[in-house]
Chains A and B, each alone.
Chain A
Amino acid sequence: MSIFINKESKVIVQGVTGKEGAFWTQHMKAMGTNVVFGVTPGKEGQNVDGIPVYHSVRRGIQDHQAEVSMLFVPPKFVKDAVFEALDAGITKICTIADGIPLHESLEIRKAALSCGAMVIGGNTSGLISIGEAMLGTIPYWIERVYKKGNIGVMTRSGSLTNEVTAEIVGGGFGVTTLIGVGGDPVPGTRFAELLPMYEADPETKGVVIIGELGGTMEEEVADAMEDKIFTKPLVAFMGGRNAPEGKRMGHAGAIVSGGRGTVKGKTAAIEKAGGKVAKRPSEVPTLLHEFFG
């Protein structure tokens, strides 16, 4: 089992004929992802690696069933591509675009919330249910990072995810589904919104979150644990514990949260809710072993 996507999920790719889109679509397919069609306006009738291309999502949906869309679309076109997918009834969307304008991120997330859909990203490398399916640009072939197991992983970063996941695998664990929610100030989907899916997945025995300073996503995870929405073991690692104040942190996060946003505050919230917090990546497997013996 896995969450969000598995080998049965019917996936479409918007922006399939671009250089990046074509390259990573082939990788997604090679790993087992069930890609049913691609979309590039003006290129209907072509195919990419045997995948038929349509002018629009609606035109493709007439011939094929699909519930997931992967976007290989530049930042300024993401809003339109998300709205197009939602309009055609797609319920799960992933965008890796780095540079989506903030106000468009607000509209994208709001539109998805309004119709009960989920958008993962932007500014992420995507998500992977190991051995089943992948969306985005995840190098599933690096075995010391992407190994099948029983731990769900949620992350806000890219390189740091490789670092921490390599430690998880090195400690004898493996991963069910890894989801990069992305590093933007308004990600399409927040950590806490994925927890019910990990809770319901019998194969996921625990979850690791890779967070960082700023925002309130880690505190929302603590709230979900306090409210018993998530009851499995949880280990967090967060970057920015020693970051000098005022150098990177914004203003708005601190306003809406009344002092929330520091790694110190996030650590206290997660520990109070029964989670464990690693001070460095190598402590993550140690803390998982404390839970699982």
Chain B
Amino acid sequence: MNVFEYQAKEAFRDNGIPTPRGVVIKSIEEVESAVNEISLPCVIKSQILRGGRGKLGLIKFVKTMEEAQKVAKELFASEYNVQILLIEEAVQMDKEVYLAVTVDPVTSKAMFIACAEGGVEIEILAKETPEKLITVQVDLAEGLGAYHINNLIFGLGLTGDIAKQFGAMARNLYKTFRACDANLAEINPVFITKDEKVIAGDGKLIIDDNSIPRQPKFPLMREYFDTQVEYEANVEGLPFLQFDGDICLMCAGAGLTTTVYDLVSDFGGTVATYAEFGGPNYTKAVRTMELVLQHPSKVILVITFGTIARADVMAQGLVDAIKIHKPSIPIVTCIRGTGEEEAFKILRDAGIEPLTNTEEAVQRAVDIAAGRV
């Protein structure tokens, strides 16, 4: 789970990493007091989860209160669903550096990545100048040692007090990474200011999804999602994405659902919603259908091949969901796995034809959406 920049910076500060002073606001009425607190000039940063905010014009430097008001208004009204702004002090910066801690699944260690030229997206650095990246691996059981830090700071060519400050930042970023059960803790850029201070210019923190139950500091926020229905589904643990297409996917298993998405595209169809009701959610057909029906679509496509998620239970759930929600659009089913004979009977008794071949079912749904059936 990706969290907002202001949340990442709060976690950084909690672990001793210096950041610019900032105030978080959620409405235009709060601009004046926030700007007065930070003082002009300042930077107004849109809090959204996608990258490339600078290029999209979602981070603005302002010199006057009028300008701040105007910019804040524009950002709140932008097409990127900006609901939170971070008003931050402007920093006199001399140099930008990249620093992150992530995981290396092969060596099974934590891994620092650093680069003396920060500010650019790391993917671009990795592609264009991989030789400039410095990586340092840390065994979690062994913990972070002085030699790890030395390899970082001397690798970057830092000296004197700046090297000392950067070393402390790296230690504290590792602390943040561990304390937050992070998949990625990234500072891009680290600012080295004209008066030789090392501070976190930006902050990115991805919390491991499996660790969310033990990270109560990071609850799912409505602002992470574009729509209310995506938020509600995710709070209930139902993987759910919304698109602009015609076909509603109600499938089971991440791999199978992703494959059905691929097949729909290959066969010329488009997806309206991506909903999974497999695994621990296999008894939640009624609720899943309620959620998917909130978004207009032309056909519901149900494809499962479960083992513990029994086919007969899923088929009965689907029949119950139809009785309760009375969808006005057709439903194509391909429900197989444990108890499938019983599942086919349940569906037939409810007047639904049980298909057993995934590609045939996808083709049927695509044809219905295109008005060919």
What residues of chain A have their CB less than 8 Å away from a CB belonging to chain B? 75-76, 98-103, 105-107, 109-111, 113, 125, 137-139, 142, 155-163, 166, 183-187, 190, 210, 212-213, 215-216, 220, 239-244, 246-247, 250-252, 254-256, 258-259, 279-282
Contact = CB atoms under 8 A, between A and B. Distances in A.
A242 B307 contact: no
Contact of B108 (A106, A159, A251, A256): A106
A253 to B, nearest CB: 8
Contacts of B337: 139, 142, 159, 162
Contacts of B102: 251-252, 255-256
14 contacts: A75-B210, A101-B181, A102-B211, A103-B140, A103-B211, A109-B105, A160-B256, A190-B106, A239-B256, A242-B262, A242-B266, A251-B204, A251-B206, A280-B259
How would you classify the secondary structure of chain A's contact residues: helix, strand, loop or mixed?
A: loop
Contacts of A162: 305-307, 336-337
B141 A239 contact: no
Contacts of B123: 254-255, 259
Contacts of A109: 105, 108
A258 B131 CA distance: 12
Interface in B108-136: 108-111, 113, 122-123, 126-127, 130
By Cβ-Cβ distance, the 8 closest A-B pairs, closest first, are A157-B255, A159-B253, A160-B255, A102-B208, A109-B108, A239-B258, A159-B256, A242-B265
B178 interface: yes
A87 B94 CA distance: 53
B158 interface: no
A179 to B, nearest CB: 15
B103 A186 contact: yes
B113 A158 contact: no
Contacts of B130: 258
B253 A280 contact: no
A111 B108 CA distance: 9
Given A102-B103, A158-B307, A259 B127 contact: yes
Interface in B299-316: 304-309
A279 B266 contact: yes
A175 to B, nearest CB: 15
A199 B361 CA distance: 37
B16 to A, nearest CB: 20
B241 to A, nearest CB: 6
B342 interface: no
A98 B279 contact: yes
A53 B122 CA distance: 52
A72 B126 CA distance: 41
Interface of B: 50, 100, 102-111, 113, 122-123, 126-127, 130, 139-141, 178, 181, 183-184, 186, 204, 206, 208, 210-211, 213-214, 241, 243, 252-256, 258-259, 261-263, 265-266, 278-280, 304-309, 336-338, 358-359
A156 to B, nearest CB: 7
A107 B138 CA distance: 11
A288 to B, nearest CB: 18
Nearest to A282: B359
A139 B261 CA distance: 26
B262 A241 contact: yes
A105 B105 CA distance: 9
Nearest to B113: A255
Contact of A212 (B111, B252, B258): B258
Given A163-B259, A255-B122, A137 B359 contact: no
A239 B109 contact: no
A270 B360 CA distance: 28
A13 B24 CA distance: 52
Contacts of B278: 158-159
B176 to A, nearest CB: 13
A244 B307 CA distance: 28
Given A101-B211, A239-B258, A255-B102, A159 B184 contact: no
A110 B109 contact: yes
A279 B259 CA distance: 10
Nearest to A101: B211
A185 B182 CA distance: 12
A107 B123 CA distance: 27
Contacts of B100: 255
Given A101-B214, A241-B262, A252-B183, A107 B140 contact: yes
A106 B253 CA distance: 24
A185 B183 contact: yes
Contact of B105 (A76, A125, A215, A258): A215
Contacts of A247: 241
A125 B307 contact: yes
A127 to B, nearest CB: 14
B50 A246 contact: yes
Contacts of A243: 258, 261-262
Contacts of A241: 262
A102 B358 contact: no
Contacts of A185: 103, 105, 183, 208
